[in-house]
Amino acid sequence: MTDIDPAPHPFAAPGCPAHPDAVPLAGLEYQQSPSELYRGLRGEHGAVAPVLLDGAIPAWLVLGYPEVSYVTSHDELFARDSRRWNQWDRIPPDWPLMPYVGHQPSVLFTEGEEHRRRADVITQALSGVDQFELARDCRLLADRLIASFAGSGRAELMSAYAHALPMRAAVRVCGMPHGAAETTQLVEDLRISLDAAEGDDPVAAYTRVGERIHALVRHKRERPGPDVTSRMLTHPAGLTDEETVQDLISVIAAAQQPTANWIGNTLRLLLTDERFALNVSGGRLSVGEALNEVLWLDTPTQNFIGRWAVNDTQLGGRQIRAGDCLVLGLAAANTDPQLWPEAHVGAENSAHLSFSNGEHRCPYPAPLLADVIARTAVETLLERLPDLVLAVEPEALTWRPSIWMRGLTALPAVFTPVVA
């Protein structure tokens, strides 16, 4: 693939007559009820809205289900290589979104045949994960985590359970030597790099993640085993160590943060919605329905940045110029009133866009593995602590201040103490 020079290109900035009403993707509206903001943007701008990223950097937020599907299905028009962006002359080196927008030798930014080559390596490596063994391992991990707080009768489930379990599962399938402290730090660095809060350094956090994965790849070059990392290194495609590191970061990041928030959002739904309360307490009924409904209504990845226009084109009645950035509004698309005119979201089917769409969607069988992890986590917790209830009123729960990830800051719960 040839290099793509990021040439400057004018785009409507704050105060520009073309888009004087561009909306910053930040603020309290995104923390508690982003659906209301999406509804307002859709009402004012239609399926494609002008927005401002950190530092007042302009972009387009694609809100419509058909439009997101179109963008993700037409790589020849909306590509993944971020070097196409016409705003690079305005982006500082320490820009908060740099870890996941700055071009890297990762499968996330490849296109065409190179992307298919890299994605095939990941697909085959993940296909080697036995789903029954993964479920068994996740149940053991869940039991250990629950045992650490079961005797106290209370727990903050996001930090003690929802975030901890997916990372331990990902570490295990990737063959990473791990201890509790190292795993905890990896979780925190992934959180910072994906979704930095005030005072965090996402670039430094991403560097630390890379250092740990580099060490893992060096270890598996010398001592391969029955794990995802070893299968990637021995694949006939012959990935370099750097390519393997970058692609492993993508795999682990996708396995941890989104899955953790999928677990947390599902537990919140089960503990606060009376439709589930009578069926779920002490058993497994409706857990699958709850997991699927969350993907429609509270999908862990709200927005994804993004795609870059290859040429001047139109989308949703908007004139998109070559090099413009398009943010995929996955949460908004899942609740598009054009798709569900009666405000009834199709929780009984799986046509949501929570794993994206097209060639760059979450590679098979990653969604199935994430489902195994999330389902086992929720079911095991409800079985072990059947009288689990919230420790606060539902209205007191708060969401992380993020436009990218949809997850709770905390999920405090109480239950009858379990004596070991």
pTM of the model: 0.89
pLDDT attached to residue 187: 72
Q: Which has the higher per-residue pLDDT, 50 or 197?
A: 50
Average pLDDT over residues 309-325: 97
- The overall average pLDDT reported for the chain is 87
Residues 6+ away with beta carbon under 8 Å from 380 = 138, 139, 142, 143, 146
Q: Which has the higher per-residue pLDDT, 84 or 338?
A: 84
Q: Is 9's pLDDT higher than 80?
A: no
Least confident piece of the model among 147-151, 177-181, 335-339: 177-181
C-beta separation of 103 from 81 below 8 A: yes
Residues counted in the chain: 420
23-414 topology per CATH: Cytochrome p450 (1.10.630)
Q: CA angle 23-262-167, nearest 5°?
A: 110
Average pLDDT over residues 123-140: 97
Q: Is 5's pLDDT higher than 80?
A: no
Average pLDDT over residues 384-391: 94
Q: Which has the higher per-residue pLDDT, 250 or 85?
A: 85
Q: Is 17's pLDDT higher than 50?
A: no
Pair of tokens at residue 288: 């699958």
pLDDT attached to residue 57: 94
Q: Is 29's pLDDT higher than 70?
A: no
Q: Phi, psi (5° rounding) for residue 57?
A: -85, 125
Q: How many Å apart are CA 175 and CA 154, to the nearest integer? A: 32
pLDDT attached to residue 3: 42
Q: CA angle 156-162-163, nearest 5°?
A: 100
pLDDT attached to residue 194: 66
Angstrom distances, CA of residue 155 to CA of 138, 258, 408? 19, 21, 14
pLDDT attached to residue 341: 66
Q: Is 245 helix (H, G, I), strand (E, B) or coil?
A: helix
Average pLDDT over residues 84-98: 92
Residue 376 CA from chain centroid, whole number:
19
pLDDT attached to residue 51: 94
Q: Is 192's pLDDT higher than 90?
A: no
Least confident piece of the model among 54-58, 278-282, 295-299, 396-400: 278-282
Q: Is 370's pLDDT higher than 90?
A: yes
Least confident piece of the model among 21-25, 50-54, 240-244, 309-313: 21-25
Q: How confident is the model at residue 196 (pLDDT cuts 50, 70, 90)?
A: low
Q: Is 240's pLDDT higher than 90?
A: yes
pLDDT attached to residue 8: 38
C-beta separation of 263 from 411 below 8 A: no
pLDDT attached to residue 351: 86
pLDDT attached to residue 338: 85
Closest CA to 257 of 101, 362, 139, 124: 362
Angstrom distances, CA of residue 291 to CA of 210, 286, 372? 31, 9, 11
Q: Is 17 helix (H, G, I), strand (E, B) or coil?
A: coil
Q: Which has the higher per-residue pLDDT, 97 or 420?
A: 97
Q: Is 78's pLDDT higher than 60?
A: yes
Q: Tell me which DSSP letter residue 179 carries.
A: -
The full 3-state SS of 90-148, as one line of letters, equals: HCCCCCCCHHHHCCCCCHHHCCHHHHHHHHHHHHHHHHCCCHHHHHHHHHHHHHHHHHH
Q: Is 195's pLDDT higher than 70?
A: no
